[in-house]
Structure 1
Amino acid sequence: MMSDEDMEKLKASKGTEFDRMFAQMMVDHHKGAVEMAQDEQKNGRNATAKKLAEDVVKTQSAEVEQLQKILARL
């Protein structure tokens, strides 16, 4: 999660600085989701939740890759 301070910095930024900050924050956010989903896959007991976790790992990992490509272009 982003802190209030992070969000204030994002609000104050403009242009490419905003784009970089936003993309990096989203990368960090999605990586956190992947970690939680991987933990569910490993330690979860509910088959439905484990399937959802599998989907989260796939989709969020793909989004991280896309965001990292965007960051590389900025």
Structure 2
Amino acid sequence: MVRSGVRPVTNVNFALSVGTAVPRSVTLHALPPAILTLVPAYRGFSYVLVGDDIVIIDPDTYEIVDVIPA
């Protein structure tokens, strides 16, 4: 994931749990095709990196949909 050029989010002030809304100031990124191949249900969602974890986010509500540990 690091090769995608996406930098991990620092100063995280939200819980890494499903249903938590992340601040609108967080920059969301399009999911890489490799993840969509593995989990097609994530199509339309975005993500951020928090540390090495991939945090899947609904771009409409900014709510966490899933957290994929590194």
Give me the TM-score of the superposition, normalised by structure 2. 0.29
CA radius of gyration, larger in: 1
> Whose strand fraction is larger, Structure 1's or Structure 2's?
2
